[in-house]
Chain A
Amino acid sequence: NAGVTQTPKFQVLKTGQSMTLQCAQDMNHEYMSWYRQDPGMGLRLIHYSVGAGITDQGEVPNGYNVSRSTTEDFPLRLLSAAPSQTSVYFCASSSIITTGESGGYTFGSGTRLTVV
């Protein structure tokens, strides 16, 4: 089924470890974004990309890196995990036109990350 695929679904890291959260979409969407959601909170934008080779920072970028070498993939890297990065991470994609009949963003099912 077409959509946004995130892996892994669950991950436990030790403080200081690094890892990459994977995100792939098969809808040929130009825009891709990473959000984090803490308990009882709304989603906060980490990084986003408007196309291959182009990325920019969102609201809470510190401690995270991204790259966009292809249209399909938008991995999120945690450089040195900290307990404050314990959260649920969502990847989202959309076409360049997100208005009208486009249907807005399509979100993945999330990665639940715990840093101990």
Chain B
Amino acid sequence: AQSVTQLDSQVPVFEEAPVELRCNYSSSVSVYLFWYVQYPNQGLQLLLKYLSGSTLVKGINGFEAEFNKSQTSFHLRKPSVHISDTAEYFCAVSEVDSSYKLIFGSGTRLLVRP
């Protein structure tokens, strides 16, 4: 079975500062990794994904993440955040099979202050 840990429930940061949202996972099999963003009263939007290949993945809105297999981590980063980045961010994994069923972390609320 897989599990996902997002240790930071909330990350406050000032506008234009860099940010890192941490994600660690546990799995006995190979996994795909995802980051989703959820704005208030909305569904989830895919930010980026790691399926295979290069461990540095670039996504939408200037976000990127790096897959570290030895540390079982998939941290999300952005060099300069905007007020509009304030949202809930979810890390998720799925087994490398055909199901694409997602296991989610508990989420990290990014709060960008002016």
The answer to whether A binds B is no
